[in-house]
């Protein structure tokens, strides 16, 4: 299946996120690689996705899983070469699968040649102006310029030994770029062109809301003042208006290709209406909607998030994105299996709050059957919505979070910088199980870089492949039916219409395609007359009742 030139392919694409170091290891060093992706193209094609999004594969010290990029135009030798990249893209394109890559413009890795130059060049030099250096405070300039904390814990400023500090919103190995610097701006345009010329179809933009900053305050505002400021024009670090100039420039680059390159921003802002600006047609086209990650598993929560996002997408000419899992959050099969909120954890009732509980290892055991049933139901719900779905490797197997990794195996800087207070994100990044045996369950010939738990065997691709009711086969069927339905004019041209549903359920239609979700775990919801084309539950039973935590697709 050759790729068509449809410029709007991304608007309703099913995109599969690959975390390359944990997908498939072809060269046997325990780390997944690009050749591993190429080998698995038949698997991806059979899954029925439209595009892959690759998390960073660039040379990196791996201080933050590759989001510390030392060279934006090369491949980490542990993962492959540029020639491997070209082979991978060719194989994916040949299979009709587009390629989105991750671009990390807020910060580089500390091994980047420009950062090394900045350290060597000294205060006041043009090399330092590419990053965010400030003099230290106090008589000997030994105190950080402000009390800001990095996302992973600890100070956001690192001293370099000559009275200056550099800003790093994340790990000290991730110095923040100064995107007001014309050389840095030009460099990212060069990087976008480099990969676009190689045939990459789109870009996922890391920390998209933070690329422009206002550090003119003297003294800088305190962490408490920053914290109390909503993201937006008045915030020194997040969602400043000038950031949009960058994406307008990038859009001109994207549109100079045929078909135009696509963009999706990782935009964490407080106000969904401001997020939508990044997703406008003059900017990135899409921004991740993380609201379902933060919402509970319930009809009212889902409907509120869906309605708001569809309205915003319509108003801005964007298309919605639906996300339940990625490499940064607790896998949704685990999230949905955590105990329901009790009065005592009301303030931590959001998913995010409950994530911290599981991350801190306070609540490692979950109701795995309920979590998986809800995960399957939620996935079928988002796949029926207008817009695109972003799926994270392993969710198609129903994998849940690995909560009991030994501390010695952990890699996430969040674990180290918080001194173990947060266990971090490694539990969502354990290498995939492809087979029920072998040194790494088919991930590769050697032991994997993060240990796989014993229960992974039951979720191996080979095991699920043979089971018609497996989550893998559900995803395959769902993506295939979705693709067929989206090809129909009566679906494509119909707006989503909400239908009445019993208490605790949600129902909508798009033309003849109807989706009914029973969020409750108390009682079943009787299915209307038509035969469902797909049901998330393993067993519908004869009485045509959609049981607890289940979704049905019906065709009128």
User: CB 210 → ligand NOJ: shortest distance, Å?
Assistant: 9
Token output for 19: 């975390």
The answer to whether 266 contacts ligand NOJ (rule: CB under 6 A) is: yes
Binding piece for ligand NOJ, criterion CB under 6 A, among 12-20, 45-53, 59-67, 241-249:
59-67
The answer to whether 267 contacts ligand NOJ (rule: CB under 6 A) is: no
Q: How far apart are CA 29 and CA 446, in angstroms?
A: 6
Of the candidates 170, 188, 203, 456, which one interacts with ligand NOJ according to CB under 6 A? 170
Q: How far apart are CA 328 and CA 56, in angstroms?
A: 13
Measured from each CB, the residue nearest to ligand NOJ is 67
Of the candidates 158, 201, 328, 548, which one interacts with ligand NOJ according to CB under 6 A? 328
Q: How far apart are CA 55 and CA 107, in angstroms?
A: 15
Binding piece for ligand NOJ, criterion CB under 6 A, among 62-70, 190-198, 329-337, 440-448:
62-70
The residue (of 153 and 163) whose beta carbon lies closer to ligand NOJ is 153
The answer to whether 104 contacts ligand NOJ (rule: CB under 6 A) is: yes
Q: How far apart are CA 449 and CA 431, in angstroms?
A: 8
The answer to whether 238 contacts ligand NOJ (rule: CB under 6 A) is: no
Q: How far apart are CA 97 and CA 90, in angstroms?
A: 10
Angle at 180 between CA 178 and CA 182, to 5 degrees: 105
The answer to whether 401 contacts ligand NOJ (rule: CB under 6 A) is: no
The answer to whether 239 contacts ligand NOJ (rule: CB under 6 A) is: no
The answer to whether 67 contacts ligand NOJ (rule: CB under 6 A) is: yes
The residue (of 33 and 64) whose beta carbon lies closer to ligand NOJ is 64
User: Per-residue contact track with ligand NOJ, 187 to 226, x per CB under 6 A?
Assistant: -------------------xx-------------------
Closest Cα to residue 315, out of 272, 262, 270, 260? 272
* Beta carbons within 8 Å of 456's beta carbon, 6+ residues apart: 399, 430, 433, 441
Give the Cβ contact number of residue 500 at 10 Å.
6
Count the site residues for ligand NOJ by CB under 6 A. 10
Pairing verdict, β 164-167 and 133-135: antiparallel
Closest Cα to residue 295, out of 12, 519, 107? 519
The answer to whether 100 contacts ligand NOJ (rule: CB under 6 A) is: no
Of the candidates 64, 76, 176, 291, which one interacts with ligand NOJ according to CB under 6 A? 64
Token output for 190: 């060069």
Give the Cβ contact number of residue 256 at 10 Å.
11
The residue (of 19 and 519) whose beta carbon lies closer to ligand NOJ is 19
**DSSP at 117:** H
The residue (of 328 and 401) whose beta carbon lies closer to ligand NOJ is 328
Q: Which residues bind ligand NOJ (CB under 6 A)?
A: 64-65, 67, 104, 170, 206-207, 266, 327-328
């Amino acid at each position: 299946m050759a790729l068509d030139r449809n410029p709007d392919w991304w608007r309703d694409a099913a995109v599969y996120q690959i975390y390359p170091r944990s997908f498939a290891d072809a060269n046997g060093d325990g780390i997944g690689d690009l050749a591993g992706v190429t080998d698995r193209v038949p698997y991806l094609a059979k899954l029925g996705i439209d595009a892959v999004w690759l998390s960073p594969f660039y040379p990196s010290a791996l201080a933050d899983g590759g989001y510390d990029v030392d060279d934006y135009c090369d491949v980490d030798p542990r993962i492959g070469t540029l020639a491997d990249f070209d082979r991978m893209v060719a194989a994916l394109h040949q299979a009709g699968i587009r390629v989105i890559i991750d671009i990390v413009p807020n910060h580089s890795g500390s091994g980047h040649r420009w950062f090394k130059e900045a350290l060597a060049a000294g205060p006041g030099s043009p090399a330092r102006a590419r990053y965010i250096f400030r003099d230290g405070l106090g008589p000997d300039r030994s105190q950080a310029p402000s009390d800001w904390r990095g996302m992973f814990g600890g100070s956001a400023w690192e001293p370099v030994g000559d009275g200056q500090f550099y800003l790093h919103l994340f790990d000290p190995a991730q110095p923040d770029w100064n995107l007001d610097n014309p050389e840095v701006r030009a460099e990212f345009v060069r990087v976008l062109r480099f990969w676009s010329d190689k045939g990459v179809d789109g870009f996922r933009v890391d920390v998209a809301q933070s690329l422009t900053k206002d550090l003119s305050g003297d003294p800088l505002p305190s962490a408490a003042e920053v914290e109390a400021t909503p993201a937006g024009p008045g915030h020194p670090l997040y969602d400043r208006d000038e950031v949009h100039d960058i994406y307008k420039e990038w859009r001109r680059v994207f549109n100079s290709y045929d078909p135009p390159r696509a963009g999706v921003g990782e935009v964490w802002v407080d106000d969904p209406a401001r997020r939508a600006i990044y997703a406008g047609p003059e900017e990135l086209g899409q921004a991740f909607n993380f609201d379902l990650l933060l919402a509970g598993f319930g009809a009212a929560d889902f409907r509120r998030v869906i309605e708001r996002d569809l309205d915003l997408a319509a108003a801005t000419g964007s298309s919605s994105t639906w996300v339940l899992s990625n490499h940064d959050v607790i896998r949704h099969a685990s999230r949905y299996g955590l105990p329901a909120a009790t009065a005592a954890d009301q303030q931590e009732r959001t998913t995010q709050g409950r994530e911290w509980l599981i991350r801190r290892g306070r609540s490692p055991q979950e109701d795995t059957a309920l979590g998986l049933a809800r995960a399957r139901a939620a996935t079928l719900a988002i796949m029926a919505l207008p817009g695109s779905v972003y799926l994270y490797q392993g969710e198609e197997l129903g994998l849940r979070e690995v909560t009991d990794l030994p501390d010695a195996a952990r890699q996430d800087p969040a674990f180290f910088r918080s001194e173990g207070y947060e266990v971090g994100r490694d539990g969502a990044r354990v290498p995939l199980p492809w087979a029920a045996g072998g040194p790494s369950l088919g991930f590769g010939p050697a032991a994997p870089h993060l240990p796989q738990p014993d229960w992974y065997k039951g979720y191996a691709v080979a095991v699920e492949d043979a089971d018609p009711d497996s989550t893998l086969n559900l995803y395959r069927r769902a993506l295939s039916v979705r693709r067929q339905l989206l090809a129909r004019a009566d679906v494509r041209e119909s707006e989503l219409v909400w239908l009445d549903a019993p208490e605790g359920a949600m129902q909508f239609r798009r033309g003849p395609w109807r989706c009914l979700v029973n969020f409750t775990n108390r009682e079943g919801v009787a299915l209307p007359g038509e035969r469902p084309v797909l049901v998330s539950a393993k067993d519908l039973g004869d009485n045509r009742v959609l049981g607890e935590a289940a979704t049905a697709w019906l065709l009128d």
